[in-house]
Amino acid sequence: MLWEEPVGAGARRRLTDMQPVTPSSRRLAALAFLLVAAFCALGYRLVDIQVLRHEELLAKARHNTERAFHREPPRGEIRDIRGHKLATTISVKTIVADPTLIHPMTPHMARVLAPLLRTNEAWLNERLVPRLIRTETNGEPVFSKYVVLKHKVPIEEWESIQAALASATFGFDTNRLNKKQTAFLRNLRQRAVFTEEDMLRVYPNQSLAAHVVGFVNTESDGRGMKGADGIERVFDAKLNGVAGWRLTETDRYRRELVAYRAHDVEARPGLNVVLTLDARIQQIAEQALAEAMAKHNPVSASAIVVRPRTGEILALATLPGFDPNAPGMSPVAHWKNRVISDIIEPGSTFKIVVVSGALNEGIVSLNDHFHCENGSFTYAGRRLRDHHAYGVLSVEGIITKSSNIGSAKIGIQLGEQKLHDYIRGFGFGSRTGIPLPGEVAGIVHPLTNWTKLSISRIPMGHEIAATPLQMVMAMSAIANEGRLMRPMIVHRLEDAEGNVVAQYQPELTRLAVGPEAAREMVQALKTVTTKDGTAPGAALEHWTVAGKTGTAQKAGAGGYLPGKYFSSFIGFFPADHPELCISVVLDEPHNGYYGGSTAAPIFHAIADQTARYLNIPPDRFDSTELTRAAGKARLAGARRP
């Protein structure tokens, strides 16, 4: 039987389907539409962020949170031969502020910080104002959160600043603060001012050996150091080391989030430079010069202590000096290393060149005699004088008495070409090669520029200019059997662990004269410090001294300057087996100007103290000492198997 739909049922269903939509159903439909639209917008936004603008937004996020920390490498130390620090580096702080954490209390912060940083309050007030760096695409301003206030602050000073900030009120009534004000004050005290690691170059001995050690300048960023003078300058690349760095992320207070540290490269410390200088001997030399400055009031004074056999410099001193911790506090003229940059007519100390050259050529012997014309000799139409009226003197006597006329006659016999060759052979007219900035070559005129008078003037140290270093190295060559050594000021380079990276060795420059001529010259020079010589004040009680005085009138643009002299003495001891050669030069001394009366006593003071400090065996004994020494020798012989 077929099912039949009742009449009117379909119609009723159609009537039901066409019933009007209620308000609630409309709201549901609208809500559904909004949800779909929101999800679509969110999807688009995700695509925009993750795909379309991914690189742009990532770069912006990194700019806001990433930070690169520069690691300045510890600069290597400069030490003396015994390991005493002449230049070193200590940890200090760079003080930095975040102006966004200070505003609007900028004037109050400036008032608190000004006395702590010892700087101007108005400058600080302007410095701490937030500076607009850029504006984001959405119009949001971005302000600087990093302003350097002061470099090279000692750690103890920073700790005092921290304590002062921690108790500062910055104009707030601390008893009536709401939560927001409390948080703001906490930021002012703890986060608004912070520090970064920094380094400071210090010179523990102040002015000691300042002309050798030199000093550094701070780079334009206020942190890095650049050698400006002395060893600091010449060995800057070795001392500097290699910088390190780390890339990391920070929070909104710019504090590092260690867990997000991406790269971390340690700085490599610079090498340590070990000098040939001995700080104690340097101190002895500088003290002796200081006493000479007080007594003779010269423009300057210098001293050098050298080992003749190796060329090692144990002391190199110049006064006036300066403190490399604050070089700007001294006149720039005081920075000058006069030992290598002053060129002077050496005067009678130069007689060692002409006499040793003539001995080496066999033209004269120590026992040959010359008439010294009773103090006045005319050559090439010009008069040459001695300080005393000498008659006939041996070659040895010419050195003993420092006769200008006798030296001139020896020079004439030697001849222009050979004299010029020996001058160059002793190193004059060329830089010694010492690794210090500012060395000059001196003046040695070519033979074509010599006048007829030159052959009589150059032997006594006129018409030529040399540095004190050139003169002491020439005298050291005589002491070293004619071997001219290159001066050594750097002994070795070491890494931070003390491993030797480079070792410098003594270097022979050339043979200036033969050993026999040098030994004969030594015998003549030994007479200078006797009672008959020009420098008895240089003699030592327990060591035989050989040396030569020099007194040279200063030359000016219009000729020689009346009453202005360079006074000098250069000597070595023990004379027959020299351990040390010492030079002393005074520029325009008062209360006497002869080298024997001004420079020789300074030599004596330096030599005597240094010999005792180094325990150099004596070679001079009185009768009691000779008896005691002989007894010790016999006792030692009896004990020998």
Q: What is the pLDDT of residues 78-106, one digit of tens each?
A: 999 999 999 999 999 999 999 999 999 99
pLDDT, position 29: 73
Q: Do 202 and 210 touch, CB atoms closer than 8 A?
A: no
Name the 3-class secondary structure at 137: coil
Answer whether residue 326 is part of any domain. Answer: yes
pLDDT given for residue 626 in this prediction: 43
Domain shared by 423 and 524, yes or no = yes
Write the pLDDT tens digit of every residue in 423-481.
Answer: 999 999 999 999 999 999 999 999 999 999 999 999 999 999 999 999 999 999 999 99
How far is 15 from 21, CA to CA, in rounded Å? 13
Same domain, 481 and 575: yes
Q: What confidence tens digit (pLDDT) does each residue in 145-180 have?
A: 889 999 999 999 999 999 999 999 998 988 889 999
Residue 311 lies in a domain: yes
Q: Which of 195, 210, 228 is the last residue of a domain?
A: 195
pLDDT, tens digit, 9 for 90 and up, residues 218-256: 887 666 789 999 999 999 999 998 877 666 666 655 555
Question: What is d(CA 158, CA 154) in angstroms, rounded to the nearest whole number?
Answer: 6
Do 185 and 290 have their domain in common? no
Evaluate whether residue 335 is within a structural domain: yes
Angstrom distance (rounded) from CA 463 to CA 456? 10
Among 195, 215, 237, identify where a domain stops: 195
Q: How confident is the model at residue 300 (pLDDT cuts 50, 70, 90)?
A: very high
Span 253-267, pLDDT tens digits:
555 555 545 566 677
From residue 516, alpha-carbon distances to 18, 312, 368, 369, 495 in Å are: 138, 24, 16, 20, 44
Residue 3 has pLDDT above 50, yes or no: no
Type and span of the H or E element at 473 = helix 468-479
Q: Is the pLDDT of residue 533 over 70?
A: yes
| Residue 13 counted as domain residue | no
| Per-residue pLDDT at 634 | 37
Q: Residues 371, 391, 463, 367: what is their CA dihedral angle, to the nearest 10 degrees? A: 60
Q: What is the pLDDT of residue 233?
A: 98
In a domain, 39, yes or no: no
Q: How many domains does the chain have?
A: 2
Please tell me whether residues 189 and 284 are part of one structural domain.
no
pLDDT score of 297: 97
Q: Domain containing 308 — which CATH number?
A: 3.40.710.10
Confidence (pLDDT) at 246: 62
The DSSP symbol for 481 reads: T
Is 410 domain-assigned? yes
Most confident of 43-47, 383-387, 628-632: 383-387
- What does the pLDDT read at residue 38? 72
**Same domain, yes or no, for 181 and 327?**
no
The percent of residues above 70 in pLDDT, for the chain, comes to 85
Q: Is the pLDDT of residue 323 over 70?
A: yes
Which of 131, 161, 195 is the endpoint of a domain? 195
How confident is the prediction for the chain on average, in pLDDT?
89
Beta strands in 479-526 (DSSP E): 483-485, 490-494, 500-503, 508-511
Confidence label for 137 from pLDDT (cuts 50, 70 and 90): confident
Same domain flag for 403 and 506: yes
DSSP summary character for residue 290: H
- 155 with 289, same domain: the answer is no
At 638 the pLDDT is 34
The span from the CA of 431 to the CA of 264, in Å, is 46
What distance in Å separates the CA atoms of residue 549 and residue 600, rounded to the nearest whole number? 8
Q: Looking at the structure, do residues 445 and 309 belong to the same domain, yes or no?
A: yes
189-201 pLDDT, tens digit each: 999 999 988 899 9
Mean pLDDT for 559-574 is: 95
Question: Do 294 and 186 share a structural domain?
Answer: no
Residue at 450 is within a domain: yes
Higher pLDDT, 188 or 46: 188
171 and 305: one domain?
A: no
Q: Is residue 260 part of a domain?
A: no
pLDDT above 90 covers what percent of the chain?
74
pLDDT at 629: 45
Q: What is the pLDDT of residue 64?
A: 54
* pLDDT for 19 beyond 70: no
503 and 599 both lie in a single domain: yes
Q: Which range of residues forms the domain containing residue 533?
A: 279-625
Single-letter code of the amino acid located at 561: L
Shared-domain flag, residues 183 and 312 = no
Burial annotation 98-117 (CB, 10 A radius, 16+ → b, else e): bbbbbeebbbbbbbbbbebb
The lowest-confidence range among 262-276, 295-309, 371-385, 588-602 is: 262-276
